A and B are shown apart, each in its own frame.
Chain A
Amino acid sequence: SQKIEQNSEALNIQEGKTATLTCNYTNYSPAYLQWYRQDPGRGPVFLLLIRENEKEKRKERLKVTFDTTLKQSLFHITASQPADSATYLCALDMDMGRRALTFGSGTRLQVQP
């Protein structure tokens, strides 16, 4: 069955360091992948979208890579700040027939001052 895996353990890093989060998927070749940020008690907020023919996408301190051979996306936050602390979710179009995203369970990032 199709599956999306994100590290369920929280990632703790020091302020100023680069945070790297991983999203792995199986049994499917998505046309695109999206990353969202979710704060406690709030809805997810869209951050970046990367297409299958794009290897890398950047937005300010954020960088996303998409390796369709490894079936993996990496999400980087450079010069991390305590305000970056949140849960980060990846989402893929796992079933083109229904035009709806499938979300991973998310990885919680904690940036220590």
Chain B
Amino acid sequence: DGGITQSPKYLFRKEGQNVTLSCEQNLNHDAMYWYRQDPGQGLRLIYYSQIVNDFQKGDIAEGYSVSREKKESFPLTVTSAQKNPTAFYLCASSSAVSNQPQHFGDGTRLSIL
């Protein structure tokens, strides 16, 4: 079955440490997205990519980095510069054509030790 796989489900980070969240899709979608969700809040866009080897900052990109070397993969690195990284991170993909629905993974919950 086609879908989006995020791993790990839970992740713990020590102070000053970078961590990378994995996102893989087999839907043949051109566009991929990373969101952050805090308790009781909506999804906030971190980064998005419309095509391989290209990506743009979203609303809260500071302290995060991404790469898009393959169509299927869009990993997110939470750097030590992100001072409040504890959150639920969601990856999504869609056809690059505008107004298409987004397909989401089941998220990674990141916590600080």
Which residues of A pack against B, CB within 8 Å?
A: 4, 6, 8, 31-32, 34, 41-46, 49, 51, 89, 91, 93, 96, 98-106
Contact = CB atoms under 8 A, between A and B. Distances in A.
A99 B43 contact: no
Nearest to A46: B101
A4 to B, nearest CB: 8
Given A31-B98, A43-B106, A99-B98, 13 more contacts: A31-B99, A43-B4, A43-B92, A43-B104, A43-B107, A44-B90, A46-B101, A101-B45, A103-B35, A104-B42, A105-B41, A105-B42, A106-B42
A101 B92 CA distance: 11
Interface of B: 4, 6, 31, 33, 35, 40-45, 48, 50, 56, 58, 90, 92, 96, 98-99, 101-107, 109
| Residue among B40, B44, B99, B109 with the highest chain A CB neighbour number at 10 A | B99
A93 B99 contact: yes
Contacts of A44: 43, 90, 102, 104
9 contacts: A43-B92, A46-B102, A51-B99, A98-B56, A98-B58, A100-B33, A103-B43, A104-B42, A105-B42
Contacts of B42: 4, 6, 89, 103-106
Contacts of B106: 41-43
Given A42-B106, A43-B107, A89-B43, A96 B98 contact: yes
Contacts of B92: 43
B78 to A, nearest CB: 18
Contacts of B101: 34, 46, 49
Given A8-B40, A105-B41, A42 B107 contact: yes
Contacts of B45: 100-102
Contacts of A101: 45, 102
Given A99-B31, A106-B42, A43 B98 contact: no
